[in-house]
Amino acid sequence: MSVTAAKGFTAAGIAAGIKENGNPDLALVVNDGPRRAAAGVFTSNRVKAAPVLWSEQVLKGGQVSAVVLNSGGANACTGPKGFQDTHATAEKVAEVLGRGAIEVAVCSTGLIGVLLPMDKLLPGVETAAAQLSEHGGEKAAIAIKTTDTVHKTSVVTKDGWTVGGMAKGAGMLAPGLATMLVVLTTDAALESDVLDKALRAATRTTFDRIDSDGCMSTNDTVLLLASGAAEVTPEYEEFAEAVRQVCDDLGQQLIRDAEGASKDIKVEVVNAASEDDAVEVGRSIARNNLLKCAIHGEDPNWGRVLSAIGTTKAAFEPDQLNVAINGVWVCKNGGVGEDREKVDMRYREVHIVADLAAGSETATIWTNDLTADYVHENSAYSS
Amino acid sequence: MSVTAAKGFTAAGIAAGIKENGNPDLALVVNDGPRRAAAGVFTSNRVKAAPVLWSEQVLKGGQVSAVVLNSGGANACTGPKGFQDTHATAEKVAEVLGRGAIEVAVCSTGLIGVLLPMDKLLPGVETAAAQLSEHGGEKAAIAIKTTDTVHKTSVVTKDGWTVGGMAKGAGMLAPGLATMLVVLTTDAALESDVLDKALRAATRTTFDRIDSDGCMSTNDTVLLLASGAAEVTPEYEEFAEAVRQVCDDLGQQLIRDAEGASKDIKVEVVNAASEDDAVEVGRSIARNNLLKCAIHGEDPNWGRVLSAIGTTKAAFEPDQLNVAINGVWVCKNGGVGEDREKVDMRYREVHIVADLAAGSETATIWTNDLTADYVHENSAYSS
């Protein structure tokens, strides 16, 4: 399953010793062709990790033969040495596989500002290469975990072709709670421009609308590799939808595994004047710490929803706003609506609808509650 | 002291029964003249509480005879009835004091979306008026507390004139952690346009740069009332500096009493290309939940500072950024700097310097750490 569900791919996941606790920390995904078209989207953070700077260059060529991913260190803010290390990693993969380094994408995740232990990473590449297998997708997904409690994979199989993928992290492409790394593979025969179009369309409404804690990573990367091994070229719309489904599924898995979270919050903005307005309002609600605490306390505190909407530039009139929490319209026309006691907050999923009464556009942002566990996990991360 | 330190002012603070726990909840500040010039600044949230909408109208006249403030309810998102209640409160104060209602400012703080118990508030106005005293400043400051653990007052006395004030809340004008209400008084003889200029200049670099949790209130209000009773008209610069000092002092008291906080974090951005850049970067750092958790854990996690800087549009080059935490330059030229083990994080105040190496402008934003106590306090607020 995972990245090896599609034909033409092998993968491996091993413990190279990058993580001090001995857990798996190095993954390799190889495209055995016959094609090797690829596309990628990266963090919009201006402080980009060395592997992001490298992989952006790789993707400009539209071809990826292999992806090497490590957990246990982000290789971000590591200066020229960090970039040299990324380059050396790609060269090592190229050497072992007999490919060109400029077709080897590199992804890293872990603590910022620490150089990778290259004396462990480079031998690890050899070990991983020796274990490459058509059944290695699961192990690869396990090797990229950091604070993830479970590994995340997804597959959509269509008529003769497949899209599969793995993800780590809990956040969004930009911003992200922690680094989010995603590798998607398909055996469909498609060129890189088609992959790029489908991937950007898919991430825009999936990973880009997951906003666990409003923090943007230096390392977020989503790659889509196409081997062409199925010898099928699907219609664009059908392929794009399959990519979107896999991204959506992996995104939901990220939200459900977000650090310290006890609630998954779906913020649905409706009747906005534009999609941009809907996204701006959804993000503002999703990033409101006071609201996220209230949801944690199972308190349907719609006042905090309204105060978050009020900070945006979106088109709306304050006295026309409506808010529903778990199906109960607790705020009508900017004031008190149905009895808040009717709101059942016992379940993990919480559904907030913000009606701007200003148009017909909509957008959904997913976030999590803010919990003491989140604080604990993130105040002890580097110690 | 407090709002009654300046001559020409009386105040009172009483328990009107708005709060169910019987704590003081109604304050009255009266300007007995001979002048009654005033200025005000209000939340920039587009969802404004009824008392903000009312008081904005009052301040357009440039004259304030009295301010009535209640805790125990924000009167926000309460529709036309909420506005009628604010109006009725001003009318009651006007009636009791024999002034015009259009010169009575109203401030409210507490839960959003709940109507005020007018059957308790209006009699409370009479009780408060009966207790007005030149020594009532302290009691007024106590009556406006919500989650504040201490009341906040400040006074600057100059040659023959005084500026004093009281504040509640823990946040900033826009945004604010909870509602921030501030009343400043002076016995200097000044017109409302001068007061307005001095107040806006002062709040821009004090309350506006306190960002406890990035959340903007619907009720934030800062008022400055001048009685002229000292019969002195100070130079503008001297007066403006006195107002700035009182605002700065009250702002620091707000930060030190922020909900659940264990650290006060001074984020100083230096060598920015513009002051706007410095403020944008400072705010981005101050709002980064991951960094705020790290500081709580006494972890000098400069990578989270860089990733916060990277989300801004400010002018900088990633490989020229420098970051100091408590005097140790842990990040130099975008990479690892001095040994992070040298950073002493034991004390309550934490000083982060972000050097953008892009110009000569600077700005300082104050914030707090993110703690489990913050989560607890804000997940149980309305229950």
Size of interface A-B (CB pairs under 8 A): 215
Are the C-beta atoms of residues B377 and B293 closer than 8 Å to each other?
no
Any binding-site annotation on A361? Answer: no
Q: Does B362 touch chain A (CB under 8 A)?
A: no
The tens place of each residue's pLDDT in chain A, 383 residues long, gives 799 999 999 999 999 999 999 999 999 999 999 999 999 999 888 899 999 999 999 999 999 999 999 999 999 999 999 999 999 999 999 999 999 999 999 999 988 888 999 999 999 999 999 999 999 999 999 999 988 889 999 999 999 999 999 999 865 544 444 578 999 999 999 999 999 999 999 999 999 888 877 777 888 899 999 999 999 999 999 999 999 999 999 999 988 888 888 999 999 999 999 999 999 999 999 999 889 999 999 999 999 999 899 989 999 999 999 999 999 999 999 999 999 999 999 999 999 999 999 999 999 999 999 999 888 888 874 43
CA–CA distance, B184 with A78 (Å, rounded to integer): 49
In degrees, to the nearest 5, what angle opens at C-alpha B174 toward C-alphas B171 and B176? 25
pTM: 0.88
CA–CA distance, B383 with B379 (Å, rounded to integer): 9
Unique residue bearing structure tokens 């207790």: B131
Element (H, E) at A235: none
Taking only residues 200 to 259 of chain B, the set having a beta carbon closer than 8 angstroms to any beta carbon of chain A reads: 213-218
- CA A75 from centroid of its chain's CA atoms: 18
Q: Where in chain B is the domain with CATH 3.10.20.340?
A: 264-379
Any binding-site annotation on A179? Answer: yes
List the structure tokens of A181.
Answer: 């790394």
Question: Can you give the pLDDT at residue A177?
Answer: 42
Per-residue pLDDT for B68 more than 50?
A: yes
Taking only residues 105 to 164 of chain B, the set having a beta carbon closer than 8 angstroms to any beta carbon of chain A reads: 111-115
> How long is chain A?
383
Q: How far is A296 from chain B (nearest CA, A)?
A: 6
CA–CA distance, B166 with B154 (Å, rounded to integer): 7
- Name chain A contacts of B112, Cβ cutoff 8 Å: 301-304, 306-307
Are the C-beta atoms of residues B299 and B341 closer than 8 Å to each other?
no
Give me the CATH topology for the region B2-256.
L-amino peptidase D-ALA esterase/amidase (3.60.70)
Please judge whether A294 and B371 are an interchain contact, meaning their C-beta atoms are less than 8 angstroms apart. no
Sheet holding A66-70: strands in order across? A9-14, A26-31, A66-70, A104-108
Q: Which CATH architecture has domain A264-379?
A: Roll (3.10)
Please judge whether B335 and A213 are an interchain contact, meaning their C-beta atoms are less than 8 angstroms apart. no
Between the CA of residue A134 and those of A2, A4, A126, what are the distances in Å? 10, 6, 17
DSSP A63: B
Residues of B catalogued as catalytic: 179
Q: How far is B244 from chain A (nearest CA, A)?
A: 26
Q: Does B325 touch chain A (CB under 8 A)?
A: no
In degrees, to the nearest 5, what angle opens at C-alpha A9 toward C-alphas A7 and A15? 145
DSSP A138-180: HHHHHHT-SS-SS-EEEEEE-SS-EEEEEEESSS-SSS-SS--
Angle at which helices A192-205 and A236-256 cross, to 10°: 40
Unique residue bearing structure tokens 């009895």: A339
CA torsion sign for A193, A194, A195, A197 is: positive
ipTM, 2 dp = 0.86
Between the CA of residue A74 and those of A116, A221, A259, what are the distances in Å? 8, 12, 18
Q: Where in chain A is the domain with CATH 3.60.70.12?
A: 2-256
